[in-house]
Amino acid sequence: MELQARYVEASTKPAAQATEGLSLLTGLYLAISPWAVGFYDAPALTVSNLISGLALAVLSLGFGSAYERTHGLSWVAAAIGVWTIVAPWAVSDAPDSVGPVVTNVITGGVACLLGLVTISLARMQRK
């Protein structure tokens, strides 16, 4: 019970709430980025960004609503960020233009950074 109370306390801190909100926005942007940037003609990258973005958004909602049960999954947010960075080169029909690559690298970097911040917040609460 004491550990659960510590995680609830951690999730109410402004830094944790800002991280959760930014992660949610990052996930939503990643999901709509093929249409916002205009590379929806690359179906594999579009599907990758859509699924990764929705997964990050749902994970962020879990951090916001049930941090005490989802803090152990914070490494997944960083992994989604890493996948987002390498996805333009890893998928078979990646576009040759600069827009998708820049979008994925920046969005993936932000997602990875926010995932690492979430990990550090969880570790600070354990001490």
Start-to-end Cα distance in the chain: 16
pLDDT (tens digit, 9 = 90+) per residue, 68-125? 556 677 889 999 999 999 999 998 776 678 888 999 999 999 999 999 988 887 666 5
Tokens 């999954």 sit at which residue?
73
Distance between alpha carbon 108 and the CA centroid of its chain, in Å? 8
Instruction: Enter the DSSP assignment of 3.
Output: H
Whole-number Å distance between alpha carbons of 107 and 27: 9
Cβ–Cβ under 8 Å, residues 24 and 65: no
Give the global pTM: 0.82
